[in-house]
Chains A and B, each alone.
Chain A
Amino acid sequence: MFINNSGVDFTMIVDIQKLSVDYSGIKVLDDISFGIAEGDFLGIIGPNGAGKSTLFHCMLGLRTQYDGTIKFFGQDIRDSRKYLSQVGFVPQKPVVDRNFPATIREVLSMSQNSSDSKKVDEALQKVWMHELADRRIGDLSVGQQQRVFIAKALVNSPKILVLDEPVTGIDQYNQDLFFQILGELNTKEKISIIWASHDLDAVERLASKVACLNKTLFFHGISKEFFSDDEMLKKYSETSMQMHMHHH
């Protein structure tokens, strides 16, 4: 039930071994190892400063100074960046310059190699933003922008979606819609999802696996096991006291 150190397994599409990161001498990730199998829906939980975003930055090649190895589709990401075309990423805080002169449609097609406007429309439809497609990105609310970025992550039909707290700033109704979309992407389109969240309830409802992170990985396994293990939950809430997070 604890950290899975089973070594190379070819059903693993992501394989992280002994990942450690420090910022000027201070360790923020310490010896993290886990894998993601095809079709997994992995919720990554951990308090502020736990290292979730840092982990994602390493996985996506945004941070190259780390110890250990990260493999996508069996290949070390230090050797090739090709895997990125199969990965959609929604960053924690997308910064949008209010004056940036681009429509939502243009923002989505920036990440496309071809100018396939049908895919752009489809992706926008998935987040209910197609009616606003010709609005300027800076004119949207933060929550609407977040939805655009989710659509942007979907536009190239990725095999893996990496979401760093994607629903911050989205209202309850749209959060539920969004969770529904994630579920469908995972079950129907077989997209593997890696999702960092502070929302334990949502993680319990949606994720099939859970990784609990706070500098070290102190749980990685089946979601049900985590949420039915009171010891684990207690340990989790102790480490995240400062976050005022309670599991009901």
Chain B
Amino acid sequence: MTFEAVSYESIPHALISGIAISLLCSVVGLFLVLRKFSLFGDALAHSAFGGVAFGLFIGIYPLWIACAVAILSALGLSKIRQKFDISGDAIVAILLSTGLGAGVILVSLTEDFEFHDIEEFLFGSAIVDTQNVVTILALAGAILTILFFTYKKILYSTFSEEQAKASGIPVEKMSYLLITMAGVTVVISMQLVGVLLISALFVLPNVSAMLYARSFKQTVILSMLFAVSATVSGIIMSYQFEIAQAGCIVLVAAAIFVGSLVAKGSGLVKTAGILAKRA
């Protein structure tokens, strides 16, 4: 099988969409991490995989089906979770395995199926199509705009559900909104890093940022910075050494995390509080 490295012509496309995707993943991922829902992105991606397989099976371009399947199953499960008081990590496990299970069955049912069809969804691919880049930019822009206007409410419900509710914030609605945005984010990002590696973009930059940041604003800014640097250098590495793009991005993100741990552990950087006291 062939893991795609970035080719010269596709570098601008890859970089532009990569930057948009990283910004999106780091912000959406931050809320998931803070909700102790780090693997939720993974769960969404796996159920989206079920959707991709379904799309291939019925012969419709799979990405939008994947999006619908991921969001609907996540919303459904979070309703169930509320009603029966099931823990978040169990929900993640259910979503993840059911999505994958359904996907595998559908793949095995699909006639004249070629692994290549599904490979790009599993491991990501180089984004070459201009139309695709435009869609990614538009969706990322839309979600970031919505987040800009609602982040306070989402943050408050994340911080304390009880207090947020008692001050009149529609906590459930905010949580559905977050799930929906996470679903769209996952489906967009699948193209870049694939189902299997999506958690890396959601989690690594945020955990690295949280090692230093003192405030929420610092966390967001640092995380975005880490995510964008990982993606950009990953794409360039992929082109330079002709190795798989998704793997490069994830490894750079992991290297940033390890670097942050070392820097913090050795006392090189105390906290970002010194940098921006009133961020």
Contact = CB atoms under 8 A, between A and B. Distances in A.
Interface of A: 60-62, 81-82, 84-85, 87, 89, 91, 94-95, 97, 99-103, 105-107, 109-112, 134-136, 149, 152, 156
Contacts of B13: none
A82 B166 contact: no
Given A106-B216, A110-B152, A136-B215, A100 B34 contact: yes
A110 B155 contact: yes
B214 A103 contact: yes
10 contacts: A89-B167, A91-B162, A91-B163, A97-B34, A100-B34, A101-B209, A101-B210, A110-B156, A112-B152, A136-B214
A102 B168 contact: no
Interface of B: 34, 152, 155-156, 159-160, 162-168, 209-210, 213-219, 273, 277-278
Contacts of B216: 101-103, 106
Contact of A102 (B162, B163, B165, B215): B215
A153 to B, nearest CB: 9
A48 B195 CA distance: 50
Most buried by A among B34, B209, B216: B216
B217 A89 contact: no
Contacts of A110: 152, 155-156, 159, 164
Contacts of A60: 165-166
A84 B167 contact: yes
Most buried by B among A99, A101, A102, A111: A101
Given A102-B155, A103-B214, A134-B278, A61 B163 contact: no
B215 A107 contact: no
A135 B271 CA distance: 11
A85 B216 CA distance: 24
Given A62-B165, A134-B278, 7 more contacts: A62-B162, A89-B166, A103-B214, A105-B215, A106-B216, A110-B155, A152-B163
Nearest to A83: B168
A134 B163 CA distance: 21
Most buried by A among B162, B166, B213: B166
Contacts of A82: 168
Given A85-B167, A91-B162, A94-B163, A106 B210 contact: no
Dominant secondary structure of chain A at its interface with chain B: loop
Nearest to B207: A99
Contact of A84 (B168, B215, B273, B277): B168
Contact of B163 (A81, A89, A103): A89
B211 to A, nearest CB: 10
Nearest to B209: A101
Contacts of A107: 159
Contacts of B160: 91, 94-95
Contact of B215 (A61, A89, A103, A156): A103
Contacts of B210: 99, 101
A111 B218 contact: no
A18 B214 CA distance: 48
B171 to A, nearest CB: 10
Contact of B217 (A81, A85, A100, A106): A106
Nearest to A84: B168
Most buried by B among A102, A109, A135, A156: A102
Contacts of B156: 110-111
Nearest to B152: A110
B1 to A, nearest CB: 40
A17 B167 CA distance: 23
A217 B162 CA distance: 25
B167 A111 contact: yes
A84 B168 CA distance: 5
Contacts of A106: 215-217
A61 B172 CA distance: 13
B162 A134 contact: no
Contacts of A156: 167
A112 B273 CA distance: 24
A101 B155 contact: no
B269 to A, nearest CB: 15
Contacts of A85: 167-168
A82 B155 CA distance: 21
Most buried by B among A103, A105, A107: A103
B277 A61 contact: no
B38 to A, nearest CB: 12
A84 B171 CA distance: 14
A100 B156 CA distance: 12
Interchain residue pairs A-B with the least CB separation, the first 3: A84-B168, A110-B156, A101-B219
